[in-house]
Amino acid sequence: MTTNLVADGRVKPGQQRPHDYPGALIIVEGVDGSGKSTQLVLLGEWLEQQGVDLIRTEWTSSTLIGKATKRGQRRQWLGHLSFVLLHATDFTHRYENIIVPSLKAGKVVLADRYIYTAMARDAARGANPRAVRQLYSFAVKPDLALYFRVPLEVAINRVLTGAERGELKYYEAGMDLGLSPDPIDSYKLFQRRVADEYDRMVDEFGLTVIDAERTIEAQHAEVTALGQAVLDRLPAAAAV
């Protein structure tokens, strides 16, 4: 395994091992403002109506390193290697303590972001894409991986005009990369990098693309149909 985490070009298609646990893993991905979290909430509500035993998990929610990450961001201590390792630690802790045990117990796990977030954001910050992929090679392939694709200008407008939107934070705007002295311009340039990384992963990892510019209702109809297909493949006890 290479230890070089400085960007040096693209990688060959990634490999993930399918799991044989009785549960199912459904994940959503997309840039900020893509609407993925809204659709995951709606999917969760629909699954609960079907009597499915659910558990939810989201990005950077590990109690193990949450305070350290927030302190590092607040004091602007974090470089791109720090993000690689923090993301990996957060995910690994949740993977070992939430995701895998839940799959073994026959639950449906809904994950708001999975390893592809690290691959997109870390590479956008200058990490070696191949090294990041190798770092997460232990993670199983989701039963359903949804990528909510939306024109970047639409996603950025949603973020910047949100009802509860405050000022962009330093790392959120990608100010650590020196892309622009203006936070909004920096944010746009950083999000373009992230979106480009996601688009490269669609074929590599078999992500299911959802047109996130459509109405919430149209997206929900498609997502529930895909969710039903996952349920149909589960053992009877897990799907009821």
The domain tally of the chain equals 1
Within-domain flag for 120:
yes
19 pLDDT more than 90: yes
pTM: predicted TM-score of the whole model, two decimal places:
0.87
pLDDT given for residue 13 in this prediction? 46
Q: Of 10, 196, 208, which Cα lies nearest the Cα of 114?
A: 208
Q: Of 59, 28, 32, 30, which Cα lies nearest the Cα of 160?
A: 32
Within-domain flag for 19:
no
3-class DSSP assignment, residue 73: helix
Point out which residues pair with 147 in neighbouring strands: 29, 209
pLDDT given for residue 35 in this prediction? 95
Within-domain flag for 191:
yes
Within-domain flag for 11:
no
- Bigger pLDDT: 19 vs 1: 19
Structure tokens that stand for 131 in this block? 């090294």
Q: Which residues contact 9 (CB under 8 A, 6 or more apart)?
A: 129
pLDDT given for residue 166 in this prediction? 67
Q: Which residues contact 145 (CB under 8 A, 6 or more apart)?
A: 27, 29, 114, 116, 205, 206, 207, 208
State how far the alpha carbon of 91 is from the alpha carbons of 4, 136, 169, in Å.
Answer: 21, 9, 22
Within-domain flag for 14:
no
pLDDT given for residue 63 in this prediction? 79
Within-domain flag for 4:
no
Which CATH number characterizes residue 196's domain?
3.40.50.300
What is the extent of the structural domain holding 154? Answer: 32-235
Radius of gyration of the CA atoms of the chain, in A: 18
Work out the angle at residue 190's Cα, subtended by the Cα atoms of residues 185 and 191, and round it to the nearest 5 degrees: 100
Mean pLDDT throughout 196-202?
A: 96
Within-domain flag for 194:
yes
Mean pLDDT throughout 144-164?
A: 90
pLDDT given for residue 125 in this prediction? 93
* Mean predicted lDDT score pLDDT of the chain: 88
Q: What is the per-residue burial (b if ≥16 Cβ within 10 Å, else e) of 178-194?
A: ebbeebeebbbbbbbbb
Within-domain flag for 70:
yes
